Amino acid sequence: MGKRYFNGLKTGGLFVVLWVVLLGIGSVVGGGQYIWIFAGLGLIGTAYGYWNSDKLAIKAMHARPVTEVEQPAMYRIVRELSAEANQPMPRLYVSPTQAPNAFATGRNPSNAAVCCTEGILHLLDDRELRGVLGHELMHVYNRDILIGSVAAAFAGMITAIAQMLFFFGGGGNSRDNPLGVFGMLAMVLLAPIAASLIRMAISRTREYDADEDGAALTGDPMALASALRKLEAGTKARPLPQDAPLENVSHMMIANPFSGAGMAKLFSTHPPMDERVARLEGMARANGQLF
């Protein structure tokens, strides 16, 4: 048996911490009398992001739908894997960028889309592409689009509340605020950072799960491992520009699309490639596919 990483449990624990941060910063405002308003706004933001996740991602990548005549290998692989998983066939898109990457989005398996860039289609062979598409389909089947939308909405709401507190104050005077002036200032400055770090940690746990579950779907962990090695070099050679629309959907992609340095591991929505490859190699070894 392969090593168990309890990614689902970790994701649940991180969401609990996000709720604590959201409700904690809400309690600062007006002595807590608006706390449920902020919780409600968080839920509204979640619903909007979840419902429109496919449109936002496809638009940000300038992707277009493709036919089976245009992309026969992509259609064949996705059709086979969807049938293996007993799930409906998603819509398929291609983005006209040479930066190698792929992502899946959509509310559920019946309203899903899988997108590959031209760069990844040129970079990978069919076996490696199958590994990548298995990973992307498992994001849909594991409801990771919902999880990512919830995390993004929470982080955005916490940041918006903190900015409001910074500019307008948190409740009139220190008697309304159980933390006092300095406590409120600390909350305003630290809460958005904490929320962003938690969101990124949630994204990393979902990537590990999609790697493992996608490799199980294809039955070929080493195909995905080989693809990830190529993608690590490819995304460094051809990173995407760090503009707002792309940053908002970057967590959906199989590889970090931006060049990083310094504290990139801490502030990345993706786990380090060497750790992902090592886990896949361990899975292959446990399956008797690697010695």
Q: Which residues are catalytic?
A: 136
Q: How many CA atoms lie within 13 A of 192 on its CB side?
A: 13
Q: Is the dihedral of CA 112, 115, 199, 60 positive or negative?
A: negative
Angle formed at CA 4 by CA 129 and CA 234, multiple of 5 degrees = 30
Q: Considering all CA atoms of the chain, what is the largest pairwise distance in Å, rounded to the nearest integer?
A: 69
Is residue 151 exposed (0-12), middle (13-18) or buried (19+ Cβ within 10 Å)?
A: buried
Angle formed at CA 255 by CA 252 and CA 259, multiple of 5 degrees = 110
Integer angstrom CA distances of residue 184 from 18, 41, 168, 177? 18, 21, 12, 8
Integer angstrom CA distances of residue 53 from 23, 47, 110, 200? 25, 10, 14, 17
